[in-house]
Amino acid sequence: MKKNWWKEAVIYEIYPRSFKDSNGDGIGDLRGVIEKLDYLKKLGVDVLWLCPVYDSPNDDYGYDIRDYRAIIKEAGTMEDFNELLVGVHDRGMKLIMDLVVNHTSDEHEWFQKSRESKENPYRDFYFWKPEKPNNWQSFFGGDAWEYDEKTGEWYLHLFTKKQPDLNWENPTVREKIYSMMRFWLNKGVDGFRMDVISLISKRTDFPDTNLDNFADVIEQVYANGPRVHEFLREMNEEVMSGYDITTVGEAVGVPKEKALLYVGDDRGELNMIFQFDHMIMDSGPGGRFDPIHRSFIQFKKIFREWDEAVSKKGWNSVYLDNHDYPRMVSRFGNDKIYRRESAKLLAMMLLTMRGTPCIFQGSELGMTNVAYPFFEDYRDVETRHAKEAWVKAGKDPDELLKYVQKYSRDNARTPMQWNRNKHAGFTEGSPWMKVNPNYMTINAKDSVNDQNSIFWFYNRLITIRKNNPVLVYGEYEQTDGDHSQLFSYIREDEDDLLHILLNFSDELCDISDINLEGVELILTNQLESELHQNHLLPWEARIYQL
Ligand code: TEU
Ligand code: CA
């Protein structure tokens, strides 16, 4: 197994709009991130993934870029960005940016020119058709084709109609993207998280889809297109190979059987990917607001199968939430009576599995979902479109509100909870999105001052991971035999053997059949005085050294 810094790293995802507001306009910004670099250093993370801060009309909060080389005014200036990058590097950390090149904003000059006329040199920067060619639907509901009066043609947008898809078949598009990437890398940026990179090669015959499960449409029609690997290899040759950086592809629609095509050591494409199987396993045919039961055994199986599929010849990431999904302690843990224990258990999973862990902002505090009582409190375009679709379909939006409270992306985007001051110290102004009312008991200040907090548990786990290469490069083997409560696995190399036991339940978990002779306890999320040889307490997590 080749050793690389990005395999040994711990990534921390920052959604700047909700991280820290430094100038009182209620919107998080770059100077706010600068203010918190020491906090992040204290936590122990070493690669920061910064969600988009480029100029954008904010239809999808920055994932609709109007100018790739300018900082959106509300985030600050390019000087602020340069100062942030220096601050990150001065602390021995690295910064990766969000590369959003499957689509631009419709306000990008390329699209403005492209829609001017059919003869415009930018026409082929996007996909235009005289008639709507197929029944493709957008990720956010509704048609994926939008009629444009100006030239009487339809253009493709897999996301909102303000996010037209770039035509990667056009070599000029690719050249301009590569040049933009060099602009950021030449500033010293340490790599990219590549937004929906698995979608950039379209099936240019644009076939109709007759699949009723949207996840199947993504996998079989939108993602893994005919030239996706050719484009990624070219991007690597033209750009990435010239720098000591890392790349993580957001591999929506990529099944484990195709993962190595993107991240195989010999492929010359990406270093690692964010896979989605565990994140969409409880989405029904209608997507996240059409939930189905999630099986714990299936959850563990997904991690086992992805490890088997990738880890021999490639590399994985491990994550349990991000800015697009509910808070992990609410979704995979118990955010009521066992919030602290389950948040620590999930942290132990994140930091002892094989693959580069990615911590989403606020997980280190055990921040939870927020159940706003009104739709008006929700900000995300996906949530707003869902409501419009329900009302249009004559369905009761109050029914939808229950699903939105549980599964919306907004759950991840409530402002970071820094202290017990007004608006949790996120802003002196009025926040763009309401702060979760539980900030009085869940905030960074109290956490940093409490050695027994989730924050310090993350810090200890990160230190253990840094001091035990077996947790990075060691073999992974699940050992719980599909137990209904227990998730246990070993990490092994020639020097060490660690056994991790996680009780993913509100009940006692019998472990009397596990031989704990001669083992040394490395870390537990319970008071050591309460440890029982024969059972784990609810949400108890342990690392043993054999
Ligand atoms: O997400 C794309 C994506 O496929 C999943 O996040 C999810 O399917 C989507 O949120 C709809 O449920 C990326 C970005 O992470 C997301 O924030 C953007 O909205 C999207 O691409 C478009 O750029
Ligand atoms: Ca601000």
pLDDT in tens, 219-274: 999 999 999 999 999 999 999 999 999 999 999 999 999 999 999 999 999 999 99
Structural tokens at position 369:
């979902």
- What is the full DSSP assignment across 169-181? TSHHHHHHHHHHH
Contact assessment for residue 103 and residue 64, using Cβ atoms and an 8 Å cutoff: yes
Outline where 397-450 has alpha helix (H): 397-407, 444-448
Mean pLDDT, residues 158-178: 98
Q: How far apart are CA 342 and CA 361, in angstroms?
A: 17
Please determine, for residue 496, whether its predicted confidence score (pLDDT) is greater than 90: yes
Question: With bands split at pLDDT 50, 70 and 90, how would you rate the model's confidence at 142?
Answer: very high
Q: What single-letter DSSP state applies at residue 534?
A: S
Strands 54-55, 94-99: pairing kind: unpaired
Tens of pLDDT, residue by residue over 427-472, are 999 999 999 999 999 999 999 999 999 999 999 999 999 999 999 9
Residue 217, classed as helix, strand or coil, is helix
Q: Which of 56, 139, 325 should be mutated for ligand 1, with most atoms under 8 A from CB?
A: 139
Cα 160 to averaged position of ligand 2 atoms, centre (Å):
26
pLDDT, mean over the chain? 97
Q: Are 277 and 256 in contact (CB under 8 A)?
A: yes
Atom 5, ligand 1: residue with shortest CA distance: 324
**Ligand 1 and 489: CB distance under 6 A:** no
Ligand 2 mean position to 303 CA, how many Å?
A: 39
In this predicted structure, the answer to whether residue 212 has a pLDDT above a threshold of 90 is no
Q: Where are the beta strands (DSSP E) in 354-437?
A: 356-360
Ligand 1 atom with the shortest distance to the CA of 64 = 23
- Burial letters 422-447, b for 16+ CB under 10 A, else e: ebbbbbeeebbbbbbebbeebbbebb
Which ligand is closest to the CA of 165, given by its number? 1
- End-to-end CA gap in the chain: 23
DSSP tag of 200: S
- Among the residues of 70-224, which ranges form H helices? 78-90, 109-114, 171-185, 214-217
What is the rounded CA–CA span in Å between residue 91 and residue 99?
Answer: 24
> Which helix (H) or strand (E) element contains residue 509?
strand 509-510
- Rounded to whole angstroms, the Cα distance separating 205 from 214 reads 20
In percent, how much of the chain has pLDDT > 90? 97
Whether 483 has a pLDDT exceeding 90, the answer reads yes
Judge whether residue 530 has pLDDT over 90: no
- Joined together, the tokens standing for residue 61 give 């909060």
Quote the pLDDT of residue 528: 84
Give the closest residue (by CA) to ligand 1 atom 8: 139
458/31 Cα distance (integer angstroms)? 25
C-alpha 12/C-alpha 4 separation (Å) is 18
Q: Which ligand is nearest to the CA of 27?
A: 2
Residue 286: pLDDT band (50, 70, 90) is confident
Confidence of residue 529 (pLDDT cuts 50, 70, 90): confident
Neighbours of 13 (CB within 10 A): 25
Q: Report the alpha-carbon angle 395-397-398, nearest 5.
A: 120
Ligand 1 site, residue 504, Cβ cutoff 6 A: no
Residues 150-168: what's their mean pLDDT?
98
Give the residue ranges of DSSP H helices in 443-505. 444-448, 454-467, 470-473
Q: Which of 208-212, 375-379, 490-494 has the lowest mean pLDDT?
A: 208-212
For each of the domains in the chain, give its residue range(s) and CATH number, in order of start: 8-101+171-460 (3.20.20.80), 109-156 (3.90.400.10), 472-545 (2.60.40.1180)
Helix (H) or strand (E) holding 531: none
Q: How far is CA 204 from CA 41, 126, 133, 211, 329, in A?
A: 46, 12, 11, 18, 41
Question: What's the chain's length in residues?
Answer: 546
288 lines ligand 1 (CB under 6 A): yes
Nearest Cα neighbor of 243 from 1, 5, 466 is: 5
Between vectors from CA 513 to CA 452 and to CA 278, what angle results, nearest 5°?
60
pLDDT on residue 334: 98
Cβ partners under 8 Å of residue 513, min gap 6: none
Catalytic residues: 195, 250
% of the chain exceeding 70 in pLDDT: 100
Residue whose CA is closest, atom 10 of ligand 1? 324
Check if the beta carbon of residue 481 is closer than 8 Å to that of residue 473.
no
Atom of ligand 1 nearest to the CA of 253: 4
Helices (H), 29-149: 30-35, 37-43, 78-90, 109-114
Convert the pLDDT of each residue in 111-135 to its tens digit.
999 999 999 999 999 999 999 999 9
What is the Cα–Cα distance from 270 to 255, expressed in whole angstroms? 16
Let me know the angle formed at the C-alpha of 157 by 154 and 160, rounded to the nearest 5 degrees.
120
Return the closest-CA partner of residue 410 out of 330, 346, 348, 294: 330
Mutational pocket test of ligand 1: of 54, 324, 382, the residue with most ligand atoms within 8 Å of the beta carbon: 324
Query: Residue 166 forms beta bridges with which residues?
Result: 126
**The predicted structure's pLDDT at residue 90:** 98
Query: 179 or 1: whose pLDDT is higher?
Result: 179
Helix (H) or strand (E) holding 238: helix 228-238
Which residues are near ligand 2, the ion (C-beta closer than 5 Å)? 21, 23, 25, 27, 29
pLDDT of 393: 94
User: Which ligand has an atom closest to residue 62 CA?
Assistant: 1
Question: Which pLDDT score, from 0 to 100, does residue 4 have?
Answer: 97
- So what's the pLDDT on residue 157? 98
